[in-house]
Amino acid sequence: MHRPLPQFDNAHYGSGTARIREIVIAGHSVRWFPNRGPADQSEHSLVALHLEVLSSFYPAHDLATRAVVWKSGSLKTFDQLAPAIAPSEGWGDPLAATPWGRLLSDLHRDVEGQIESDSATLDLVKPPIWPLARQPRLTTEALYESPPPPDLRGEARWAMMEHVQYNYWRVLDWALLWPERLHRSPFYVLFQLHLRGLYPLGFNEAGAFQLFHLAASSASAAA
């Protein structure tokens, strides 16, 4: 999908302009379910960082100490592992109904509330990223054209694409509000995982944090 990059000057979004531009450029490079090998040490570190920064907002949940489980295989494998989510369930993050997704959604509502309650920040909510001035809940930036390619239209696959897109929007909001704290955003860390073709699935029945990637050997069995 070749989309033109939105154009804005170097002060358009205040102190967050450079980080927002960085995020948008990265968003235009997203590849969905790329064939890849096992996670490397830097990716293991990103997962640990996501759980650590998320835990800083929810200290009672002991998130930083959770075991991490890596899963790989074909897209059919992903369908079997993914939570029972579907993009047809309505507007919003499809993973918001899961325990992990609720934490993300609740945290983002706090971020949105901060933006809406600060007049100076709210004044920065404007085109081209946000089509309506002072309306942070709408954005023109999309990571894919709907519907996605036929092999990604299965409910679990499409729902994961929607979830990744919601995380992307959350990163943009965070960068507008707290650009100097972007490295401490659980959404920003998640976005780094998504850019690498890694898809967190949330907590399994044992409470471990589970992630999936398409295995390089699964290309012929991906459909």
Give pLDDT tens digits for 131-166. Answer: 999 999 999 899 999 899 999 999 999 999 999 999
Long-range CB pairs of 150-156, under 8 A, 24+ apart, other chains included: 151/75, 151/222, 151/223, 152/32, 152/33, 152/75, 154/75, 154/79, 155/85, 155/86, 155/87, 155/88, 156/78, 156/79, 156/82, 156/85, 156/86
| Residues 60-109 pLDDT 10s | 999 999 999 999 999 999 999 998 765 545 578 999 989 999 999 999 99
Which of these, 159, 216, 211, 215, lies nearest to 47 by C-alpha position?
211
The pLDDT-based confidence of 222 (bands split at 50, 70, 90) is very low
Given a cut of 80, whether residue 34 has pLDDT beyond it is yes
Average model confidence (pLDDT) across the chain: 93
Find the range with the poorest average confidence among 24-28, 36-40, 212-216, 217-221. 217-221
What Cα–Cα distance (Å) separates residue 37 from each residue in 72, 200, 202? Answer: 9, 16, 21
Given a cut of 90, whether residue 191 has pLDDT beyond it is yes
Give dist(CA 38, CA 215) in Å, integer. Answer: 8
Which of these, 80, 93, 106, lies nearest to 186 by C-alpha position?
106
Looking at the chain, the whole-number percentage of residues with pLDDT higher than 70 is 93
**What's the pLDDT score for residue 216?**
80
Q: What is the largest CA-CA distance in the chain?
A: 53
Give dist(CA 75, CA 77) in Å, integer. Answer: 5
